[in-house]
Amino acid sequence: MSKSVLTFIADTHHYSRTLGDKGKAFTLRSDSDQKCLKETGDIIDAAFEYLGNSNSDAVCIAGDLTDDGETVCHEEFREKLYKLKEKKKVYVITATHDWCCDRNPRRFEGENTYHDVPTMNHNDIYEFYKDFGINDSFAQYKTTLGPASYAVNIGEHVTLLGLIDDKNGRDSAGYKKAHLEWIKEQIKNATDSGRMPVAMEHHLLIPHITPLFTKGACSPDRERIINELADAGLKLIIVGHSHLQRIDRHVSPAGNEIFEVNVGSLVGYPAPMVTVSVDDKKIEITTDYLKEFTFDGETLDAQKYLKNHSRNLLSVLFNAAAQNDKKLFAQRLDALGVSTEKLGIAVALLFFIFRKFSRMSVIKAGKFINKMPFAKKIPQNSIDALGDFTVQQIAEKVWLNILDGAREQYGENSDMYKVVAGVFSVPVAICKKLGIDGNPLEIFTECERAIDEILTGGVLSNAELIIER
Ligand SMILES: [Fe+2]
Ligand SMILES: [Fe+2]
């Protein structure tokens, strides 16, 4: 039986080492990022080598191709695309990081950061990446920003829609009305001709894990857009942007089901590569993870290396608390995407909790929490089972589960689940006890709720799925 096979990666964020790869300023920048910087070229090379030899018909990249739209990063990255194209069809979309939407390009020299870096103008993207989607397409929609959405047939079964969702006409991610109509028309045409439409855009239409973490990564019109796409007949959309690996399901009010696969960043843990195989009966989704890459001549275990890099982001937060450095602690929270502005007074509470628990063993922390009259009790046998771990090590496991969609799952009867749920009940309990409400209480309550999703991975697997056609 013939199949159309597509492999999706996202957020390759290629960083050119010509922008600096050592010194204090570079290290500070690199240490405050979940994904890699100076390693991106080698990681991408290894992934492209692997994908070039895979059985996929096409490699598709869901935006944020470069670090921050620097011209040199685009040039180096496109060279890699041309090399991969010798073996596979390659389709890309671009996103806000590809035209440096924050106008803050950077290069690093010693202790200094400079901003005099040439970047790609959004109007030049269309021509620059024409060989990777546009030239093979049978339909296009040129956005006012410059880049174009396109439709391309892959094998016998799939029409891929590469969609540019950078602007909705109101300075946010999404689509203008005519653009969305064009997309719906492509979905209908594909379905009418017996093909499966598969869409790829950069921003999320479902806030994965919890809106607290990912609502900001969604288009503000997300609910209307996803309902309209589902009702037009789209069953599968691939997105990037959040750097988290997730699969979730949505049903429109009219009863139409759609799945969103959020592909994590290729250059951060867990470096996922998501393969979608379509035949005339079903869509099958599987996920691979980059195994190794060669950096400066040394072959490295990619999973181990990327895990360590991600863990480091959390270690610096714990270290800041252990060193009693409130300012650094707040900076590190912001780097993790936790808005200290929103948290307000609760930053001090978090700082206290981190400082108190950072180096503690689970045994000691459990004893302490169970003595709090207003906190949830953690079963003693669960505390004993994890006793030798430190609180920091437990937090690292939670962090990795957020990134990788719970490759290691902890069910609600596991000791891990009971201990983590107990720890996360503490800030809520303290807020209630001290009469802190509003934003901080809402945030901590939502975190407590999200723990289930993080530890178990949610209802669906975040790596595999079968959808009947
Ligand atoms: Fe990104
Ligand atoms: Fe992004």
How many whole angstroms from 312 Cα to the centroid of ligand 1? 19
How many whole angstroms from 202 Cα to the centroid of ligand 1? 9
What's the pLDDT score for residue 28?
Answer: 85
d(CA 250, CA 229): 11
| Half-sphere exposure at residue 241, Cβ-oriented, CA atoms within 13 angstroms | 28
- Concatenate the DSSP letters of all residues of 339-374 into one string: -HHHHTTHHHHHHHHHHHHTT-BHHHHHHHHHH-TT
What's the pLDDT score for residue 196?
Answer: 97
How many whole angstroms from 50 Cα to the centroid of ligand 2? 24
Which residues neighbour 373 within 8 Å (Cβ) at sequence distance 6 or greater?
Answer: none
Q: What is the DSSP letter of 171?
A: S
- Which ranges of the chain have pLDDT less than 50? none
Q: Which ligand is nearest to the CA of 266?
A: 1
Q: Which ligand is nearest to the CA of 11?
A: 1
What's the pLDDT score for residue 214?
Answer: 85
- 27, 67, 22: which is closest to 43 by C-alpha? 67
Residues near ligand 2 ion, CB 5 Å cutoff? 64, 95, 241
- Concatenate the DSSP letters of all residues of 35-103 into one string: B-STTHHHHHHHHHHHHHTSS-SEEEEES--BSS-BHHHHHHHHHHHHHHHTTSEEEEE--GGGTTTTS
- 211, 257, 266: which is closest to 460 by C-alpha? 257
What's the pLDDT score for residue 56?
Answer: 98
- Concatenate the DSSP letters of all residues of 93-161 into one string: E--GGGTTTTS---EEETTEEE----B--GGGHHHHTTTTTGGG-SEEEE-TTS-EEEEEEETTTEEEE
Cα dihedral value 55, 46, 464, 58, nearest 10: -40
How many whole angstroms from 243 Cα to the centroid of ligand 2? 8
Q: Going from the N-terminus, what domains does the chain have, and what CATH number goes with each?
A: 4-296 (3.60.21.10), 303-456 (no CATH)
What's the pLDDT score for residue 297?
Answer: 92
Q: Which residue has the tokens 């389709």?
A: 91
3-state secondary structure of 249: strand
How many whole angstroms from 93 Cα to the centroid of ligand 1? 12
Q: Supply 225's token pair.
A: 């857009």
Which residues neighbour 445 within 8 Å (Cβ) at sequence distance 6 or greater?
Answer: 428
Per the CB < 8 A criterion, the answer to whether 172 and 220 are in contact is yes
Q: Which ligand is nearest to the CA of 12?
A: 1
d(CA 407, CA 398): 11
How many whole angstroms from 14 Cα to the centroid of ligand 1? 10
Per the CB < 8 A criterion, the answer to whether 179 and 198 are in contact is no
What's the pLDDT score for residue 73?
Answer: 98
How many whole angstroms from 172 Cα to the centroid of ligand 2? 12
What would you report as the CA-atom Rg of the chain, rounded to the nearest whole angstrom? 23
Per the CB < 8 A criterion, the answer to whether 278 and 194 are in contact is no
Q: Which ligand is nearest to the CA of 166?
A: 2
What's the pLDDT score for residue 118?
Answer: 98
d(CA 73, CA 243): 19
Element (H, E) at 449: helix 439-456
How many whole angstroms from 141 Cα to the centroid of ligand 1? 23
3-state secondary structure of 26: helix
pLDDT tens, residue by residue, 109-136: 999 999 999 999 999 999 999 999 999 9
How many whole angstroms from 12 Cα to the centroid of ligand 1? 8
- Quick one: residue 297, left, alpha or beta (phi over 0 = left, psi -120 to 50 = alpha)? left
d(CA 329, CA 351): 7
What's the pLDDT score for residue 368?
Answer: 87
Q: Supply 321's token pair.
A: 């608390």
How many whole angstroms from 44 Cα to the centroid of ligand 2? 17
pLDDT tens, residue by residue, 254-293: 999 999 999 999 999 999 999 999 999 999 999 999 999 9
| Half-sphere exposure at residue 445, Cβ-oriented, CA atoms within 13 angstroms | 9
What's the pLDDT score for residue 375?
Answer: 79
Phi, then psi, of 276 in degrees rounded to 5:
-115, 115
Element (H, E) at 401: helix 391-404
Strands 196-200 and 158-162, by their bridges, are: parallel
Q: Supply 48's token pair.
A: 């492209």
How many whole angstroms from 334 Cα to the centroid of ligand 1? 16
CA distance readout (Å), 291 to 7, 39, 295: 16, 15, 13
| Count of CB atoms situated within 10 Å of the CB of 382 | 21
Q: Supply 5's token pair.
A: 């096979």
3-state secondary structure of 187: helix
What's the pLDDT score for residue 464?
Answer: 98
What's the pLDDT score for residue 463?
Answer: 97
* Distance from the Cα of residue 159 to its chain's centroid: 24
- Quick one: residue 171, left, alpha or beta (phi over 0 = left, psi -120 to 50 = alpha)? left
How many whole angstroms from 101 Cα to the centroid of ligand 2? 10
3-state secondary structure of 418: helix
How many whole angstroms from 11 Cα to the centroid of ligand 1? 5
How many whole angstroms from 385 Cα to the centroid of ligand 2? 40
